[in-house]
Each structure stands twice: as C-alpha cells, then as structure tokens.
Amino acid sequence: MTDVQRSLVLVKPDGVRRGLSGEVLRRIETKGYTLAAVELRTATAEILADHYAEHEGKPFYGPLVEFMLSGPVLAVVIEGERCIEGFRALAGATDPTVALPGTIRGDLGRDWGLAVQQNIVHGSDSPESAAREIGIWFPNL
C-alpha cells in the first residue's frame, strides 16, 4: 500500500533573497519527490491571512505576515509517498540553531533571533493542512 500525498512547500523570502530556491528544489527532487507546481510570486495580505489564519491573534502573527510580505516567495506543490512527513524531516526543526546537520534549516538556516519567521522554508504539517494550503496558493490545481 502506498500513501502518495501532495504538500505545499514555500521557500520564504529569506531563502529566495539568499539564492537558496534551487538548493531547496534540488533536495526535494533528490529525496524522490515530484514537483507538481512551482511559481515565484509575491504573497498578498489576503493570501497570508488565509494561510496563517490559525495563528491570528498570536504575538508572532504580525511579524510573520510582515516578513512574508518582504519579498518574493517560491510556492511549490510536491508529490510523493508520505511527502508531508518526509519534507518536514528534510526541512528540520523550526529553529535553525537546533536543526540537525543535513536538513535544510540545519545546513542553510541562520539564527538572527527570528527563527520562527526566517527559517528558509514552510511545509504543510498534515494532509488536511496541505489540501487547505494548496487551495490557497494554487486554487486551479
């Protein structure tokens, strides 16, 4: 039995600014996942309000949205067996300082005291979140 899934991956503005989009895509493809959609875009306040709706009202919400509006984002839909769990393992811990070597955040992330926002990538955390997030970023997919 296989569990082929789709997941949303975002290369956040810090990753795009630092020229890491290609490295992130290389790691995704090396892991064996397929790129179903890739688009460099500037997020809007509306997209981010939908994407981060569950965090509205939390202290980090405003700074997170402001950061995500600070530059282009590479939005990617990946496909593959257990790709949601697999990409989150590939991404590493949210805090780049404690993310293990070999992970995207462990190898490429920087700790500028902004680990929650500026940590290179976002990946969906469940099949339900993936479906919701893909619908926000790629409504025609």
Q: How much is the pLDDT for 116?
A: 60
| pLDDT at site 112 | 63
Query: Which among 19, 18, 11, 21 has a CA at the least distance from the CA of 43?
Result: 11
Domains of the chain (ranges, CATH numbers): 4-79+96-137 (3.30.70.141)
pLDDT at 24: 98
Quote the pLDDT of residue 52: 95
Taking only the tens place, the pLDDT of each residue in 51-65 is: 999 999 999 899 999
CB distance 134 to 6 below 8 Å: yes
Count of helix runs (H) and strand runs (E) in the chain: 7, 4
Is 105 marked within a binding site?
Answer: yes
pLDDT confidence of residue 117: 67
Supply the pLDDT for residue 22.
Answer: 98
| Residue 140 annotated as part of some ligand binding site | no
Nearest-CA neighbor of 78 among 28, 116, 114, 121? 28
**The pLDDT value given to residue 33:** 98
Residue 87 annotated as part of some ligand binding site: no
Known catalytic residues? 122
Could you count the other beta carbons within 10 Å of the beta carbon of residue 25?
18
**Which residue ranges of the chain lie beneath pLDDT 70?**
1, 112-117
Which residue's structure tokens are 């600070």?
Answer: 70
Which pTM value belongs to this model?
Answer: 0.93
